[in-house]
Amino acid sequence: MSFTSFLFALFVAAVVLLIVDKLNVGLKVGGLVNAMVSALAISVSGSIVMWLLGLFSFTIGGGFLGAIVFLIVAAVVLMLAAKLMPGLEVSGFGGAAISAIAIGVVYWLLEWFAGLFV
């Protein structure tokens, strides 16, 4: 991945966080720059959590149970990133879980929309 690709992915992640912020589902981000730093913090936190899960040979399976486990992991990652990033606020575990779902849906919609033009 080139540095330009990395910056573009970071920008897209920041825009997704800003969209989810506007949905008022339990996640607050203070602007584009703060959203970009928060996206980086979420990415680093997620990598650490997934590495730790792999270290203990815990794999996230497929199906409904895998989706629930992945949702819990995503909510924990958002809560951890909120502790690391002063401008990122998550309103409890429920807000983190709903925000994780909203982030996934917004990413899916952006991917679908971009696919219309390819």
**Gap between the Cα atoms of 50 and 34, Å rounded:** 24
pLDDT averaged over every residue in the chain? 87
Residues 6+ apart with CB under 8 A from 53: 59, 60, 73
Domain boundaries, the chain: 3-115
Percent of the chain having pLDDT more than 70? Answer: 97
Residue type present at position 49:
V
Question: Residue 91: pLDDT band by 50, 70, 90 thresholds?
Answer: very high
Percent of the chain predicted with pLDDT > 90: 26
Please tell me the pTM assigned to this model.
Answer: 0.82
Residues 28-41 pLDDT 10s? 998 888 898 888 88
The helix (H) or strand (E) run that includes residue 24 is none
User: pLDDT tens for residues 50-79?
Assistant: 888 888 877 777 778 778 888 888 899 899
